Structure 1
Amino acid sequence: MCGIVGLFLKNERLQPELGGHLSRMLATMSARGPDSAGIAVYGSGADDLIKLTLRAADPAADGDLAGKLAAAIEAGVDLIRRSNHVVLTIPKHRRAPALTWLAQHAPDIDVVSAGSRMEIYKEVGLPERVANRFSISAMRGTHGIGHTRMATESAVTTEGAHPFSTGDDQCLVHNGSLSNHNAVRRNLRREGLVFETENDSEVAAGYLTWRMREGDSLKEALTSSLDALDGFFTFVVGTRDGFAVLRDPVACKPAVLAESDDYVAFGSEFRALAVLPGIDKARVFEPEPATVYAWERR
């Protein structure tokens, strides 16, 4: 029993309010999972740059990270610090040497995500506290997804918190449980994917990454997951240009969508959507089982 939210803005005037809306939506889901929380925000970016979101257990552990990394990769490095997370923006073509240097010289710093537009922030604690810790309400962007977790099958750790990201600008949040994730994980490792946890949700994210790497669209990858992933689930997926929703064929987990001229919003329960402006004018509906719903920027 976890809580999921997602918000895709159609109206550009609402972009400065994205973080605030996501934070309020997720806070309403606290009763569904008080153990840990996380939010992915898709903001501005450039095709020739990549953002690396990093996490250090000790907020002071990174020291002069930007300066040291810039010298090592011989390129400019922009650093933004938010609590124990930092976002490094570097030239995309220097990504490989940057990751190699981080692994060798900063092994206590975890890479949470990578992408031209995506930043992920997650930590142990109630959603409201996690959002406040990283000042999510001040963030602007086009879309984002969030998750609050009840750790029923694994320890309460930051590593186990959602969203999970296994590909550039791609992440997934999941409510439910997969029964065959260990077998799928073994197969995906043979395909070169790397997993940081034993969480079944990371396997779902990895499966989509692999299918899209093989040439599937997001919609095609999600459709194929209905056969490949056994269990009960609701997935909300974020990509560089949009987000998508999929429920298992039985639709075991609760899910509500709302669409208006200004936005598309998802929540595990309607109360997550009730905090949005103009919700009384939106079309509110329950997504059908085994059906992919997707929206992208034009």
Structure 2
Amino acid sequence: MCGIVGLFLKDKALEPKLGEMLSGMLDVMCDRGPDSAGFAVYGSGESGKIKLTLRAPEGFDFAALGKTLGDDVTVSVRGTHAVVSAPAAREAEIRAIVAKTKDVAVVGAGQRMELFKEVGLPSEVAERFELSKMTGTHGIGHTRMATESAVTTNGAHPFSTGADQCLVHNGSLSNHRSVRRDLDRAGVPVQTDNDSEVAAGYLTWRMNQGRTLGEALEDSLDDLDGFYTFVVGTETGFGVIRDPIACKPAVMAETDQYVAFGSEYRALAGLPGIENAKVWEPEPAKAYFWDRAAA
């Protein structure tokens, strides 16, 4: 059993409160997944720069790694994670250095996305990474109760397989092994055994072929078997889709200020103006997508 939340802001006035609102939504979902949690926030970005979110063991010396990476790199540490901001032209070089650094991994990359995940109670994970203080335009989050695999940070969501793109998932895919082989042949990396990372990789693959996120979500209905609800973030957008059976719970709300998703309504109950929101259950096999670039 997992809990998913997502928040897409239409009103710029709410951007300083994105983290606070998302943190409250994630906190409500604690009993749906008390083992681990994660979230991705789309904050400010800088042209020509890329952010790499790194994960390392507790106590790792990120400052020393920053000196190794060079003077044109800044490192912002949050607990076991750090966001490295660097010239985009140096991404491959920096990834190569990180790959040679013991116990350090890249969990997300993009111009605007920062991604954090860890083992523990979701409310404590959110507090550890100071989610409530983060600002931005949209974000997604996930709580996980381990039922089929070990409780590890690698098994926590979100999963990111493309620049500024990430996914959270409630459900289970039955054909993820065969899809994984397709992704391997296509050169889309999948690092863990989690079927949710395969789903993220699938969307990256389809978008690399020129499909929009909305189109890639629709493609998943034909190519991914199982039961699932996906909430996906891109640099400018936010998408939701449920499988044709739609056995996993989901509810959405929309106002002039935001679009929100929760595995249960109570995750949305604390949002401003929720009493006047349009609230509905997303339909089976229908892709929903909102894009700031189109606004």
TM-score between the two structures when normalised by the length of structure 1: 0.97
Residue in structure 2 matched with residue 177 of structure 1 by the alignment: 172
User: Residues 238-279 of structure 1, C-alpha deviation per residue, up to 9 Å, x if partnerless?
Assistant: 000010000000111010000000100000000000010110
Residue of 105, 110, 114 corresponding to 2:109: 114
Deviation string, structure 1 residues 56-85 (Cα, Å, up to 9, x no partner): 113334341111111xxxx60011000110
Q: Quick one: which amino acid aligns to residue 94 of structure 1?
A: R
Tell me which residue corresponds to 2:155. 160
Amino acid at match of 2:173: L
Residue 42 of structure 1 is matched in structure 2 by 42
CA distance in 2, matches of 1:83, 1:199: 24
Kept in 2, the 8 Å contact 1:23–1:127? The answer is: no
> Amino acid of the residue matched to residue 100 of structure 1?
A
Does residue 67 of structure 2 align to residue 67 of structure 1?
A: yes
Deviation at 1:107, TM superposition (A): 2.9
CA distance in 1, matches of 2:47, 2:175: 36
Q: Is the 8 A contact 1:59 1:85 kept in 2?
A: no
* SS of equivalent residue, structure 2 residue 58: coil
Distance 2:6 2:135 in 1: 14
Indicate the residue corresponding to 2:291 in structure 1: 296
Compute the TM-score of the two structures, normalised by the length of structure 2: 0.98
8 A contact 2:165–2:235 mirrored in 1:
yes
Aligned to 1:188: 183
Written as runs of structure 1 = structure 2, the 5 A alignment for 1:170-249 is: 170-249=165-244
Cross-structure match for 1:95: 91
Alpha carbons 2:62, 2:77 under 8 Å: kept? no
Task: Give structure 1 stretches of 5+ with no counterpart.
Answer: none
Q: Is the aligned partner of 1:272 residue 2:275?
A: no
Aligned match of 1:18:
18
Alignment of 1:66-85 (within 5 A): 66-70=66-70, 76-85=72-81
State the distance in 1 between where 2:61 and 2:34 align.
27
Determine what percentage of the aligned residue pairs are the same residue: 64
Q: Distance in 2 between matches of 1:5 and 1:60?
A: 30
Cα distance in 1, alignment partners of residues 154 and 47 from structure 2:
28
CA distance in 2, matches of 1:30, 1:60: 28
Task: Figure out how many residues of one structure are paired with residues of the other and give that number.
Answer: 293
Structure 2: any 5+ residue segments left out of the alignment?
Answer: none
Write the deviation string for residues 186-208 of structure 1: whole angstroms up to 9, x where unpaired: 11101111111100000000000
SS at match of 2:230: strand
For residue 214 of structure 1, report the CA deviation from its aligned partner: 0.7
In 1: Cα distance, 2:198 partner to 2:181 partner: 10
Larger deviation, residues 54-63 vs 254-263? 54-63
